[in-house]
Amino acid sequence: MTNTPTTAGTASALGDAWAVMTRAVRLVFSLVPGLTVLNSVLVVVQGLLPLAALYVMKLIIDAVTAGVPGPGADVSGLVLLIAVAAGIGLLTAAVRALATYSAEAQSLALSDHVADEIHEQSTRLDLAFFENPAYHDTLHRAQSEGPGHLGLVVNHILAVAQSAVSVVAVGGFVVSVSPVVGLVIIGAALPAAAVQVWYSRRRYDLRFRQAAAERKTWYYHYMMTSAHHAGEVRLLGLGPLFRERYRDLRRSLRDAVLALSKSRSAWEVLTQGLVTLAVFGSFGIVALRAVRGELSVGDLVAFLAGFQLCIGYVQSIFSSLNALYEDQLFLANLFAFLDLEPFAGLPGAPGTEPPGFSREVRFEDVSFAYPGSSGPALRHVSLALRQGEVVALVGENGAGKSTFVRLLCRLYDPTVGRITIDGRDLHEIDPGQWQRGTTVLSQDFVRYHMTARENIWLGNIARPAGSPHVEEAAREAAADAVIGRLPDGYETQLGKMFDSGHDLSTGEWQKIALARAFFRDAGIVVLDEPASSLDAIAEAEIFDRFRDLVRGRTAVLVSHRFSTVILADRIFVFARGEVVEQGSHAELMEKGGLYARMFLAQAGPYR
């Protein structure tokens, strides 16, 4: 059974399109009201100027063809008309230049605002979105098409208005010469408009389908041009492979676009042929009337110019209406992205201070499955983290340790069970508020291409960047010696992305990241493989005074290095998403279970 459009479906689609366009117009007027009003005024002026130019041209031609009585005749009237025509030309150029500047200023302001909205939304949404390919397709469509089309909505509405004013003004004169011309103008423009609407819909559908492939080309481009991948790409000789895959994808995308463009071009030739027949057919009719003396030469020339202008104006109206149709299709993608809501919502009003806890954070029969996964990453986990203690999480890769940390930081909410803070459900606490009370040093820590001071200060931007606690955190993380060797100390630009940048070794970057974690001064400190890139001396230097560094805080150590784990008050052993053992190092060794086997396997070579 074939799908056919219904009245209800068409009405719904029109309603959706209207909602998108009205939302876009309100947004534009709220962001750049002055420029939008100025553009509206310029539209009216630009719409009326062609009629003035056309009418003055007719008067000049009629004055010339009427003849001049003699050498001494008064030509002041003709000179005045030419001066007026020149003035209209200059005014048209000035108005056009002002309109171009105003439109560009509006477009830049709107593009920057949309980029800011996308950035805000991207940093607000849960991690679950970033693990969903559909989200990345939505983001790609929003950021590749949204910023430009927001400003274009108002511009196209103004273009419709400008062309409509011009059609009414110039068309009034043309129709007064030959009333049937009005029907010819509309009839000649309709086929071209239909082709444009067809092309816009097909273009949108094509772009929608190509989003995933476009993202893949971006990914190959990123791997070939980013510093992060540069070493491995060269060592493994991956450049030719990635180039070939990039070229193949781009060729496929390009061929689809060109096939659509080829079809559109063929139809445009046909529709423009109809327009040409209409123009010269109408001109022939009016020329015969001029030969019979029913019209002056000025009327004839003005009619021809006005008729061609009207054809262009009507086509512009249909083209702009079609562009509005296309705008709302692409803006629907932008608004769909901006309307996404985080999964970790807040029932009540958020507070301003991160909530502390005096007793414990408790996991009560917590299970969790990542969106789209085939099974749970955590299964029926029940444990408590007591205030002020140091706990360690150990287990094989994929055992559930990192997932546990993500739930603790409320980057996700449990699928089953709950997490409580001194008996209060964590779901009742604003995620941002809770996260201000936690700090995490992950094993894939970020290297910010900013100054050394800013790299540490980013751990708690609520504090002033010049706070002496920046240097204190650096000393705690043994990063002060690293920074002391830099040419400009704490003001040295780190990384090689920008001028005067100074790169660090992986271990030195990890010390900076550890300082950032200490600078946050949070009640819960999570260190995920905190010594993975540290040399043995630096590791010993930090962990010899680890208890002092985390005094008064709850510390969670995630590590495969048992030299770190034995510092914990209690150790939780994860396997297949479950906590299978818990206790102190001595207790777990005495049990002779999984923990003891892993410890002995790692310690064996050192015996």
In tens, the pLDDT along 375-410 reads 899 999 999 999 989 999 999 888 999 899 999 988
pLDDT of 5 over the 50 cut: no
In a domain, 345, yes or no: no
Least confident stretch, 42-46, 296-300, 441-445: 296-300
Q: What was the pLDDT predicted at 352? A: 44
For residues 209-213, give the mean pLDDT: 85
Are residues 372 and 493 part of one domain?
Answer: yes
In a domain, 354, yes or no: no
Are residues 365 and 331 part of one domain?
Answer: no
Q: What was the pLDDT predicted at 606? A: 59
- Structure tokens, 455: 């790299």
Least confident stretch, 29-38, 171-180, 286-295, 559-568: 171-180
Are residues 391 and 572 in contact, defined by beta-carbon separation less than 8 angstroms? yes
For residues 120-138, give the mean pLDDT: 79
**Residues 332-385: pLDDT tens digits?**
888 888 888 876 654 444 444 555 667 899 999 999 998 778 889 999 999 999
Are residues 487 and 446 part of one domain?
Answer: yes
In a domain, 1, yes or no: no
Secondary structure letter of residue 581 according to DSSP: E
- Residue 423: left if φ>0, alpha if ψ -120 to 50, beta else—which one? left
Are residues 245 and 108 part of one domain?
Answer: yes
Q: What was the pLDDT predicted at 296? A: 75
For residues 271-290, give the mean pLDDT: 75
Least confident stretch, 7-11, 47-51, 117-121, 570-574: 7-11
Distance CA 168, CA 170 (A): 6
In a domain, 390, yes or no: yes
Are residues 364 and 334 part of one domain?
Answer: no
Picking from 481, 497, 477, the residue whose alpha carbon sits closest to that of residue 489 is 481
Are residues 136 and 93 part of one domain?
Answer: yes
Distance CA 502, CA 452 (A): 10
Per the prediction, the chain carries an average pLDDT of 81
Are residues 376 and 298 part of one domain?
Answer: no
pLDDT of 87 over the 80 cut: yes
Q: Which residue has the higher pLDDT, 188 or 22?
A: 22
Angle CA 335–340–341, to nearest 5? 145
Are residues 321 and 260 part of one domain?
Answer: yes
Q: What was the pLDDT predicted at 512? A: 92
Residue 69 corresponds to which amino acid?
P
Bridge partners (DSSP) of residue 494 are 502
CATH of the domain at 119: 1.20.1560.10
In a domain, 104, yes or no: yes
Are residues 569 and 424 part of one domain?
Answer: yes
In a domain, 325, yes or no: yes
Most confident of 7-21, 131-145, 284-298, 413-427: 413-427
Residues 364-380 as b or e (16 or more Cβ within 10 Å = b): bebbbbbeeeeebbbbe
Q: What was the pLDDT predicted at 487? A: 93
Cβ neighbourhood burial of 29 (10 Å; 0-12, 13-18, 19+): middle
Residue 586 corresponds to which amino acid?
A
Boundary-marking domain end, from 274, 306, 338 = 338
**Residues 304-322: pLDDT tens digits?**
777 777 777 777 777 777 7
CATH of the domain at 540: 3.40.50.300
State which residues form the domain around 413: 360-606
Boundary-marking domain end, from 275, 305, 338 = 338
Are residues 369 and 334 part of one domain?
Answer: no
Residue 122 CB: number of other CB atoms within 10 A?
A: 16
Least confident stretch, 203-207, 217-221, 403-407, 438-442: 203-207
For residues 231-243, give the mean pLDDT: 79
Q: Which residue has the higher pLDDT, 493 or 2?
A: 493
Least confident stretch, 98-112, 190-204, 409-423: 190-204
pLDDT of 39 over the 90 cut: no
Are residues 420 and 330 part of one domain?
Answer: no
As a whole number of Å, the CA-based R_g of the chain is 35
**Residues 478-504: pLDDT tens digits?**
899 999 999 999 999 998 888 888 999
**Number of domains the chain contains:** 2
In a domain, 344, yes or no: no
Q: Which residue has the higher pLDDT, 9 or 474?
A: 474
% pLDDT > 70, the chain: 87
In a domain, 495, yes or no: yes
pLDDT of 80 over the 50 cut: yes
Are residues 236 and 304 part of one domain?
Answer: yes
